[in-house]
């Protein structure tokens, strides 16, 4: 009785295995190796059924002995051929993975390019649209201030003039942050120096910046990504790290362009960086931007030991001018 139950369970498992194998055949795009493996499972199932027949029915194994032997030979051959050819499945899977990664990188690149284009459009609208209007209002106020008026009226005009001056300055700052004109006109090195000079005026932190780029111009997307990434790193340090010093090294060789960034702040746990709730943060966006350029980024940090970031981006000859 126990033998009958075991044989029955074995046949059921063989049937399930054969069905699963057949369903997977479609997912493998009917790859020849998996077809042979499926045939092997089918032959093995039939052989198992023949082997169980004498246990359940009054039949003699010698009546189908030849068929039993041939099914054994067939299953062995099918499995052997399938395993020999299965390499093609792994090649196909690797190809699909490469295409998926390439598609993701292309999507990221397009998304970042669209974001930069939108930044430029907004910056232009602010600079060319609202800026001249405020300048015109200021000119009108200047004309009014020349007219004879009461001290109270003059004070109101002066206050209004100061507000407009602050508004013009804010619009210029916003426009420059959205799309740094120095970056477009003079390149990455000068744009970084210009950005760091603004931060240094606050006197809150010491920044040591070194670079061998000088007047070298990179591909526009590369310059934009590196500039945004560096700004994001500095912003994170200023907001969260309580650091006293930042060290930045930006240099290139014939193989790549490398950005080394280090601060002496309180650091953070890198292992928590890509938890689901952390997605969308500045550091996650940094990874996305660098990935869009086929670059590599390594972040080393822990509580109390500061943050050390190394970014490498492949440097093609077409980047040079």
Asked if the model's pLDDT at residue 194 lies above 70, the reply is yes
Domains of the chain: which residue ranges?
Answer: 2-85, 116-178, 181-319
pLDDT at 320: 46
How do residues 145-176 score in pLDDT, each as one tens digit? 676 667 777 777 777 777 777 777 777 666 66
By percentage, how much of the chain surpasses pLDDT 70? 77
Q: What is the arithmetic mean of pLDDT over 267-287?
A: 64
Residue 281: band (very low, low, confident or very high) from pLDDT cuts 50, 70, 90: low
Using alpha carbons, list the distances in angstroms from residue 17 to 13, 39, 204, 222: 6, 11, 68, 52
Tokens of 103: 């598609």
Question: For residue 245, what pLDDT is reported?
Answer: 92
Domain 181-319 has CATH 3.40.605.10: no
- In order, the DSSP letters of 84-143 are HHTHHHHHHHHHHHHHHHHHHHHHHHHHHHHHHHHHHHHHHHIIIIIHHHHHHHHHHHHH
Mean pLDDT of 64-69: 81
Sign of CA dihedral 76, 79, 82, 86: negative
Mean pLDDT calculated for residue range 27-48: 78
Report the pLDDT value the prediction gives residue 212, as an integer from 0 to 100: 92
Confidence bin at 277 (pLDDT 50/70/90): very low
Report the C-alpha gap between 109 and 97 in whole angstroms. 18
HSE at residue 307, side-chain half, CA atoms within 13 A, is: 26
Cα(176)–Cα(3) distance, rounded to whole angstroms? 82
Could you tell me which residue, 296 or 97, shows the higher pLDDT?
296
What's the pLDDT at 318? 45
pLDDT top residue among 308 and 215: 308
């Amino acid at each position: 009785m126990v033998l009958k139950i075991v044989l029955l369970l074995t046949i059921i498992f063989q049937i399930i295995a054969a069905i699963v194998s057949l369903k997977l055949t479609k997912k493998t795009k009917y790859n020849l190796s998996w077809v042979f493996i499926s045939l092997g499972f089918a032959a093995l199932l039939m052989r198992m059924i023949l082997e169980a027949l004498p246990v359940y029915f009054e039949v003699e194994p010698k009546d189908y002995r030849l068929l039993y032997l041939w099914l054994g030979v067939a299953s062995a051959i099918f499995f052997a051929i399938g395993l020999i050819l299965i390499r093609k499945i792994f090649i196909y899977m690797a190809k699909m993975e490469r295409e998926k990664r390439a598609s993701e990188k292309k999507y990221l690149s397009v998304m970042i390019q669209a974001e930069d284009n939108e930044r430029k459009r907004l910056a232009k609208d602010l600079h060319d649209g609202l800026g001249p209007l405020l300048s015109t209002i200021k000119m009108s106020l200047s004309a009014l201030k020349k007219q004879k008026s009461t001290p109270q009226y003059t004070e109101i005009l002066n206050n209004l003039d100061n507000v407009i001056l602050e508004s013009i300055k804010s619009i210029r700052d916003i426009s420059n942050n959205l799309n740094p004109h120095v970056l477009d006109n003079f390149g990455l090195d000068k744009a970084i120096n210009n950005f760091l000079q603004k931060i240094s005026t606050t006197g809150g932190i010491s920044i040591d910046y070194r670079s061998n780029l000088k007047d070298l111009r990179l591909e526009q997307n590369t310059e934009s990504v590196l500039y945004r990434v560096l700004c994001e790193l500095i912003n994170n340090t200023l907001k969260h790290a309580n650091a006293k010093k930042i060290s930045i090294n930006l240099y290139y060789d014939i193989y790549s362009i490398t950005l080394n960034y280090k601060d002496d702040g309180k650091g953070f746990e890198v292992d928590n960086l890509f938890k689901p709730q952390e997605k969308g943060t500045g550091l996650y966006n940094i990874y996305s931007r660098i990935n869009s350029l086929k670059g590599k980024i390594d972040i080393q940090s822990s509580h109390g030991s500061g943050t050390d970031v190394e970014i490498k981006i492949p440097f093609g000859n077409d980047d040079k001018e």
